[in-house]
Amino acid sequence: MVGAFGVGKTSLVRQFVHQQFDERYQSTLGVKIDTRVVDTGHGSIKFVLWDMEGADPRETDERPLARIRSYLRGAHGLILVVDGTRPTTIASALDLYDGFCKEYQPVPAILLANKVDLTQEWRLDESVLPESLDTFLTSALNGQNIETAFSTLGEALTDP
């Protein structure tokens, strides 16, 4: 899972794996790994989720990007996460994705526009989201579209 700081990557993982939400913000340093097995139309898949620290390729500090690049080596799929209340996070996620595609072979990927439950703060113009990626409006708070998103990625990963 990649994206800028504070987009909700950890909260999405916690909701997907443990069906829990915690309002306290705790910045991820490095990577946190969780797992969950999901049944797909092609059998079961074990998601090994690498919840990576936030990064913005446009920042001057290259250290987080270097760590993320090393973690992404060998990835079978990507989950790009953006914050629907902060549209600038789209560029960060797409820059990370483009960097991955240039450095490694393409893998199935989805985009999660998170925090859809924050209707008053929602600022995302969905027309700017790339058509090339399956995109889901998600909420780590109430679980909206999280199962569907992961099932879609699971199907892509197990498609014969």
Give me the domain span that covers residue 109.
9-158
On whether residue 3 sits in a domain, the answer given is no
What is the total count of domains within the chain? 1
Asked whether residue 36 is assigned to any structural domain, the reply reads: yes
Whichever domain contains 44, its CATH number is 3.40.50.300
Per the CB < 8 A criterion, the answer to whether 113 and 8 are in contact is: no
Cβ(140)–Cβ(8) under 8 Å? yes
Q: For each of the chain's 160 residues, which pLDDT tens digit applies?
A: 999 999 999 999 999 999 999 887 777 777 899 999 998 877 889 999 999 888 766 666 677 677 878 888 889 999 999 999 999 999 989 988 998 999 898 899 999 999 999 999 999 998 999 999 999 999 999 999 999 999 999 999 987 6
* Residue 4 belongs to some domain of the structure: no
